Amino acid sequence: MVPFVYDIPTRVYFGENQLTHLGQELSRFGKSVLFVYGGGSIRKTGLYDTVMSAIRESGLHAAELSGVEPNPKVDSVRRGVELCRENDVDVILAVGGGSVLDCGKYISAAVFHDGDPWDLIEKNMPTPKTLPVVTIVTMAATGSEMDTVAVISNMEKKLKIGFNRPQLRPAVSFLDPTLTYSVSRYQTACGCADIFSHAVETYFNDKGMYMVDRFFEGIMRTVVKYASVAMEKPDDYEARANIMWAASWAINGLGRIMQPYAWSCHGLEHQLSAFYDITHGLGLAILTPRWMEHILSEDTAPRLRDLGVSVFDVDPGLPLMDGAKAAIEATKKWLFETLGLASTLTEIGIGDEHIPEMAHSAVTLGLKRAFIPLTDQDAEDIFRASL
Amino acid sequence: MVPFVYDIPTRVYFGENQLTHLGQELSRFGKSVLFVYGGGSIRKTGLYDTVMSAIRESGLHAAELSGVEPNPKVDSVRRGVELCRENDVDVILAVGGGSVLDCGKYISAAVFHDGDPWDLIEKNMPTPKTLPVVTIVTMAATGSEMDTVAVISNMEKKLKIGFNRPQLRPAVSFLDPTLTYSVSRYQTACGCADIFSHAVETYFNDKGMYMVDRFFEGIMRTVVKYASVAMEKPDDYEARANIMWAASWAINGLGRIMQPYAWSCHGLEHQLSAFYDITHGLGLAILTPRWMEHILSEDTAPRLRDLGVSVFDVDPGLPLMDGAKAAIEATKKWLFETLGLASTLTEIGIGDEHIPEMAHSAVTLGLKRAFIPLTDQDAEDIFRASL
């Protein structure tokens, strides 16, 4: 067990009608806000108006960065940095799913860098100064509202990279489960696959701590229990609330701080998104069980079996290898039958054309430093098994 | 599920040798430290010297408040407040178990009150201003290192009361499991009973959230698993670390923030400590299973059964009432056989002489507002069942 520093100062307003505190929280940081959002959905749901009213009523000024895309691109960051400088912005308000939040978080650091924003990633630069970030979450998935990561894509360079700095953790996040009622059945499924994957990556990392392992089993069990409820009944508060809080805890650092190792499925998936711009949670759903199959051995079987028993009610009396295999089958069944996600890359139009390139890039960027280290050949095998 | 604000900014340095960061953390708050501790044990273990070296090497000044007693008395707080004023103290460093930490936390608020420190409790005063508190934990039990409560006793008035203010949460806490190697077998058992009880109180509060319930089952299971390990092998790092982190999470607010109800067994136990000055964890161990038996009904049986299944491996196939009863028996067996704690008040010299008085006081102070509300008669019955 490695020593660690637990330091998660994000203040979270959780529940319905908590946005009444938005103006007061933004005002703590200054007068000028950069309001970052995606497409038009927050206008349709009325959230845009709620936010603008809060900003006006608190006597704040807002510049707007709209149109932030899924798998946010460095171009959006560049536009955001310009707006911050033109408007002397004091605080960034990111309203949306993980992509919008990541874009806002990256801007908060890039605004203090004189060169191009991509430099931060490319040159692995420190970020001694950042603007405070406030978030309003409209989709439970990435956990970006409470974590230290911003994943940014550079399509010219075919790179999608997670930039991780403690200073990127949002200062305040608003989690209102009712704001996720409008998330589609498909996006709900993808979000739940993403949360599940974060927990799996944490669970299959360093030996960690018994208590924390139990917490992560709880997170996985929660997502498995409530994903189908939210898909069937989008306005089920209990389901949306549990999924939302699970999303935050799957990645906020509670488990991760004791882990020196890179995340495997995320490393592989970032390649798919960089080459094909697919939905992150869908890529993870396809890859995760194939990764499990690939790493299955006498060494890893006990942990896979534990996952099966605690999350999917696999019979604890099964022989070790059978229990581990049953866990993988249960994972597949949940992802591909219950959630109804595409089960192969072929189904979503991805062939084998870039596999060696993607495998090499994933391994170079981190997978050789995974808990179960992967070679180029391992990564290729997992991609091919996912076809 | 009620809305809540999650806001736990305590920075925790967890693991061996983390005290190398002590000087730097204290220096963030100023130059003058009030060093609060209990009896002589930190001198014997060398911790006193480690702390004084860190203070000296960082160019800080320290005043010392020593001799803080178990169930800390308001007299110690009074001495601490005087020392703060005489030495123009900037930060309080509390080194010890929960009693020392609570004393330091209460001083941090009382120093800004002109009248007698007991006024804060008696008049239920706000604490708009407090000194920052840094803690070093030498016994895993109360979770005071990450929570907002200070429990203070007034023996003249026969009162032991938990004072709860967000401003009392420590700024920084050092949790080094090796510092708990010297905790005796008996105190380890009492500490684990305390942690278990915090989790039980949270688990039997408002309906809460599915995910958070799973976390609290994890906390209980962790304590049950590792208590006997630490008792047999006091320097088992894995056991001490898990117990230590479980202590913090059982009470830091993660579960509690969604609970509008008072804690039952704690309300009863505070009466025992106020009248007889017994060890808090021991009082909780004796009372908790009797409270479970008293509240057992068709309504509460499902939750008791769940506790049994998830924490003590009670057979999930048992009929509901049998499962609930098996959970209570397993709790008793763990507390009184595995931990070896006294199982009755009689064994520790407590008779029925103050029962009506204690029951009335506990109910008045909060138990009528418990999740399962208790009357004076209920409280008397639980005390009598514990004789």
Measured between CA atoms, the residue of chain B closest to residue A4 is: B14
For residue A212, the 8-state DSSP code is: H
Give the closest-approach CA distance of B178 to chain A in angstroms: 12
Is A209 in contact with B6 (Cβ distance < 8 A)? Answer: no
Residues A148, A159: contact at Cβ < 8 Å?
A: no
Q: Is A212 on the interface with B (CB under 8 A)?
A: yes
Q: Which of A147, A180, A213 represents a domain boundary (last residue)?
A: A180
Q: What is the predicted pLDDT for the residue at B290?
A: 97
CA B251 to chain centre: 8
Question: What residues contact residue B216 under an 8 Å CB cut-off, 6+ apart?
Answer: B199, B202, B203, B250, B255
The beta-carbon neighbor of A242 closest among B2, B209, B226 is B209
CATH number where A365 lies: 1.20.1090.10
**Angstrom distance (rounded) from CA A263 to CA B68:** 47
- Tokens standing for residue A305: 């079996």
Is A214 in contact with B218 (Cβ distance < 8 A)? Answer: yes
Give the torsion sign (CA, B330, B333, B338, B341).
Answer: positive
Q: How many CB atoms are closer than 10 A to CB A11? A: 18
Question: How many CA atoms lie within 13 Å of B48's alpha carbon, on the beta-carbon side?
Answer: 13
Residue B136 parent element (H or E): strand B133-137
Is B245 in contact with A212 (Cβ distance < 8 A)? Answer: yes
Per-residue pLDDT of chain A (387 residues; tens, 9 = 90+): 788 999 999 999 999 999 999 999 999 999 999 999 998 889 999 999 999 999 999 999 999 999 999 889 999 999 999 999 999 999 999 999 999 999 999 999 999 999 999 999 999 999 999 999 999 999 999 999 999 999 999 988 888 888 999 999 999 999 999 999 999 999 999 999 999 999 999 998 876 799 999 999 999 999 999 999 999 999 999 999 999 999 999 999 888 777 778 889 999 998 998 899 888 899 999 999 999 999 999 999 999 999 999 999 999 999 999 999 999 999 999 999 999 999 999 999 999 999 999 999 999 988 888 888 999 999 999 999 999
Is A5 in contact with B14 (Cβ distance < 8 A)? Answer: yes
First CA to last CA distance, chain B: 37
Write the burial class of residue B86 (CB in 10 Å: 0-12 exposed, 13-18 middle, 19+ buried): exposed
**Angstrom distance (rounded) from CA B210 to CA B12:** 26
Residues B135, B97: contact at Cβ < 8 Å?
A: no
Residues A273, A214: contact at Cβ < 8 Å?
A: no
H-helix segments, B123-184: none
User: Per the domain annotation, does B3 fall within a domain?
Assistant: no
The beta-carbon neighbor of B246 closest among A6, A211, A225 is A211
Give the closest-approach CA distance of B220 to chain A in angstroms: 9
Residues A144, A247: contact at Cβ < 8 Å?
A: no
Give the closest-approach CA distance of A14 to chain B in angstroms: 5
Phi and psi (nearest 5°) for A13? -95, 110
Number of domains in chain A: 2
Residues B180, B140: contact at Cβ < 8 Å?
A: yes
Note whether A199 and A111 are same-domain residues: no
Note whether B195 and B160 are same-domain residues: no
Note whether A227 and A374 are same-domain residues: yes
For residue A149, the cross-strand partners are A164
**Angstrom distance (rounded) from CA B271 to CA B245:** 28
User: Could you write out the DSSP letters of every residue in B40-104?
Assistant: SHHHHTSHHHHHHHHHHHTT-EEEEE--PPSS-BHHHHHHHHHHHHHHT-SEEEEEESHHHHHHH
Note whether B158 and B195 are same-domain residues: no
Per-residue pLDDT of chain B (387 residues; tens, 9 = 90+): 788 999 999 999 999 999 999 999 999 999 999 999 998 889 999 999 999 999 999 999 999 999 999 889 999 999 999 999 999 999 999 999 999 999 999 999 999 999 999 999 999 999 999 999 999 999 999 999 999 999 999 988 888 888 999 999 999 999 999 999 999 999 999 999 999 999 999 998 876 799 999 999 999 999 999 999 999 999 999 999 999 999 999 999 888 777 778 889 999 998 998 899 888 899 999 999 999 999 999 999 999 999 999 999 999 999 999 999 999 999 999 999 999 999 999 999 999 999 999 999 999 988 888 888 999 999 999 999 999
Q: Is A12 on the interface with B (CB under 8 A)?
A: yes
Note whether B141 and B214 are same-domain residues: no
Q: Is A247 on the interface with B (CB under 8 A)?
A: no
| Contact list, B6 vs chain A (CB under 8 Å) | 11-12, 14
User: Per the domain annotation, does B4 fall within a domain?
Assistant: no
User: Per the domain annotation, does B127 fall within a domain?
Assistant: yes
User: Per the domain annotation, does B6 fall within a domain?
Assistant: no
User: Per the domain annotation, does A2 fall within a domain?
Assistant: no
Note whether A167 and A295 are same-domain residues: no
Q: Is B371 on the interface with A (CB under 8 A)?
A: no
Q: Is B137 on the interface with A (CB under 8 A)?
A: no
* Chain B (102-131) residues lying within 8 Å, Cβ to Cβ, of chain A: none
Is A8 in contact with B5 (Cβ distance < 8 A)? Answer: no
Q: What is the predicted pLDDT for the residue at A235?
A: 98
The beta-carbon neighbor of B222 closest among A6, A210, A219 is A210
Give B179-246 as a 3 state SS string.
HHCCCCHHHHHHHHHHHHHHHHHHHCCCCCCHHHHHHHHHHHHHHHHHHHHHHHCCCCHHHHHHHHHH
| Contact list, B218 vs chain A (CB under 8 Å) | 211, 214-215, 217-218
DSSP SS3 for B128: coil
Q: What is the predicted pLDDT for the residue at A70?
A: 87
Q: How many CB atoms are closer than 10 A to CB B21? A: 15
| Contact list, B1 vs chain A (CB under 8 Å) | 15, 237-238, 241
**Angstrom distance (rounded) from CA A175 to CA A159:** 30
Q: What is the predicted pLDDT for the residue at A260?
A: 73
- Tokens standing for residue B170: 């420590």
Note whether B140 and B198 are same-domain residues: no
Nearest of B57, B45, B46, B49 to residue B21 by alpha carbon = B57
Note whether B205 and B175 are same-domain residues: no
Is B218 in contact with A221 (Cβ distance < 8 A)? Answer: no
Measured between CA atoms, the residue of chain B closest to residue A174 is: B5
Residue B158's domain comprises: 11-180
Q: Which of A112, A146, A180 represents a domain boundary (last residue)?
A: A180
Is B210 in contact with A222 (Cβ distance < 8 A)? Answer: yes
Residues B23, B91: contact at Cβ < 8 Å?
A: no
CA B98 to chain centre: 6
Residues B281, B186: contact at Cβ < 8 Å?
A: no
**Angstrom distance (rounded) from CA B108 to CA B170:** 10
* Interface test with chain B among A214, A242, A249, A256, by most B beta carbons within 10 Å: A214
Is B13 in contact with A3 (Cβ distance < 8 A)? Answer: yes
Q: B128 vs A258, B67, B109, CA distance in Å? A: 35, 28, 8
pLDDT tens digits along A91-106: 999 999 999 999 999 9
Q: Is A313 on the interface with B (CB under 8 A)?
A: no
User: Per the domain annotation, does B77 fall within a domain?
Assistant: yes
The beta-carbon neighbor of B13 closest among A5, A9, A242 is A5
pTM for the whole thing? 0.95
Note whether A21 and A116 are same-domain residues: yes
For residue B12, the cross-strand partners are A6, B173
Measured between CA atoms, the residue of chain A closest to residue B21 is: A5
Give the closest-approach CA distance of B154 to chain A in angstroms: 34
| Contact list, B222 vs chain A (CB under 8 Å) | 210-211, 214
Is B6 in contact with A14 (Cβ distance < 8 A)? Answer: yes
Cβ pairs A/B, distance under 8 A: 101
Residues A117, A169: contact at Cβ < 8 Å?
A: no
Note whether B72 and B127 are same-domain residues: yes
Measured between CA atoms, the residue of chain B closest to residue A18 is: B3
User: Per the domain annotation, does B1 fall within a domain?
Assistant: no
For chain B, give the number of residues.
387
Interface predicted TM-score (ipTM) of this complex, two decimals = 0.94
Measured between CA atoms, the residue of chain B closest to residue A9 is: B9
Amino acid at A357: E
Measured between CA atoms, the residue of chain A closest to residue B313 is: A316
DSSP SS3 for B32: strand
| Contact list, B306 vs chain A (CB under 8 Å) | none
Note whether A92 and A217 are same-domain residues: no
The beta-carbon neighbor of B222 closest among A8, A211, A226 is A211
Note whether A149 and A197 are same-domain residues: no
β strands within chain A, DSSP E? 4-6, 11-14, 32-37, 61-65, 91-96, 133-137, 149-154, 159-164, 172-175
User: Could you write out the DSSP letters of every residue in B305-371?
Assistant: HHHHHHHH---TTS-HHHHHHHHHHHHHIIIIIIS----STGGGT--STTHHHHHHHHHHHTGGGBS
| Contact list, B309 vs chain A (CB under 8 Å) | none
- Tokens standing for residue A193: 């696959």
Q: What is the predicted pLDDT for the residue at B274?
A: 85
Q: A188 vs A199, A230, A233, B265, CA distance in Å? A: 17, 7, 11, 41
- Tokens standing for residue B248: 């913090």
Phi and psi (nearest 5°) for B261? -100, 150
Query: Exposed e or buried b for every residue in A119-135, given b needs 16+ CB within 10 A?
Result: ebbeeeeebeebbbbbb
Query: Exposed e or buried b for every residue in B115-151, given b needs 16+ CB within 10 A?
Result: eebbebbeeeeebeebbbbbbbbbbbbbbbbbbbbbb
Give the closest-approach CA distance of B256 to chain A in angstroms: 14
Q: Which of B180, B215, B250 represents a domain boundary (last residue)?
A: B180
Angle among Cα B235, B236, B239 to the nearest 5 degrees reads 130
Is B218 in contact with A218 (Cβ distance < 8 A)? Answer: yes
Q: What is the predicted pLDDT for the residue at A132?
A: 98
Q: B50 vs A2, A3, A354, CA distance in Å? A: 22, 19, 57
Q: Residue holding tokens 């090499």? A: A360
User: Per the domain annotation, does A119 fall within a domain?
Assistant: yes
CATH number where B121 lies: 3.40.50.1970
Q: What is the predicted pLDDT for the residue at A362?
A: 93
DSSP SS3 for A103: helix
Q: What is the predicted pLDDT for the residue at A259?
A: 73
Q: Is B222 on the interface with A (CB under 8 A)?
A: yes
